[in-house]
Structure 1
Amino acid sequence: MTMGFAGAADAGGTLVISSDEDVVRVRQLTRTVAVKVKLSLVDQTKLVTAASELARNTLVYGGGGTVEVTVVDNGRRRGVRIVFSDQGPGIADLDLALTDGYTTGGGLGLGLSGSRRLVDEFDIETAVGEGTRITVTKWAR
């Protein structure tokens, strides 16, 4: 289920990430949708933190991109899925980028590994010269 942003913020939406203000909007949309699916306050905070870090990475390292926030349902529970996409340079050494403590500076210092620990599902697709797509999901308990 995907809905446009206009008038459907509670159900999710797609945003362009091209400025620091857009990173703030990603945080706000993520929190709104997380509340709608009844994530606990702790899980809301984890998801918003991961979304903030990944949105900033999309802006800083990917040169900007898009984010799509959707409500998902697997038949047992609901959750929030967020997809970050950019057409940036891609990640040359994915294993290194996913290493705990690895940072190139400027972010929250969580890096990809920290973001991965904050969510229930984490998938990354990247190709040098083609960009990066990261999909994260947090399920209601």
Structure 2
Amino acid sequence: MADSLKSHVEVSSSGADAFIRAYYDMFDTQRMNLSALYRDTSAILWNGNAFSGIQPFTEFYNKLAVSEHTVLSYDCHPLPTQASDPGTPGSIIVNVSGTVKYSNEANQRLFSQSFILSPDPATPDKRFYIWSDCLRFV
């Protein structure tokens, strides 16, 4: 059991590192590709605005001004898996704090963002997707 937990923590940590770099780089430089990280069933709450489905959220973030995110800190941990195979990865919670500067605003904004990343059973390699995304300006 301890080895399985250690393995899940290591996978979560390396996955979170890669996710954080990819997500904010994509948001800032290739926003049109961001929807590939979500599914239509993803729960999205952006600074108090809830989105039902990825299409309305895609339309929203494509209207935002050019952005530049700086991640100040983040933390992650694995959630227990519901799968019968103990080797199957569970979901991962990722909490991020940072700043974002939009090109149409004079000042940076502090933000806090929480993600739940879940393995997608529809993909052969159970690639992770954003199951839940909650951003709040601080």
Q: Which has the higher helix share?
A: 1
Q: TM-score, normalised by structure 2?
A: 0.33
Q: Which has the higher strand share?
A: 2
Q: TM-score, normalised by structure 1?
A: 0.32
Which of these two proteins has the greater Rg computed from alpha carbons?
Answer: 2
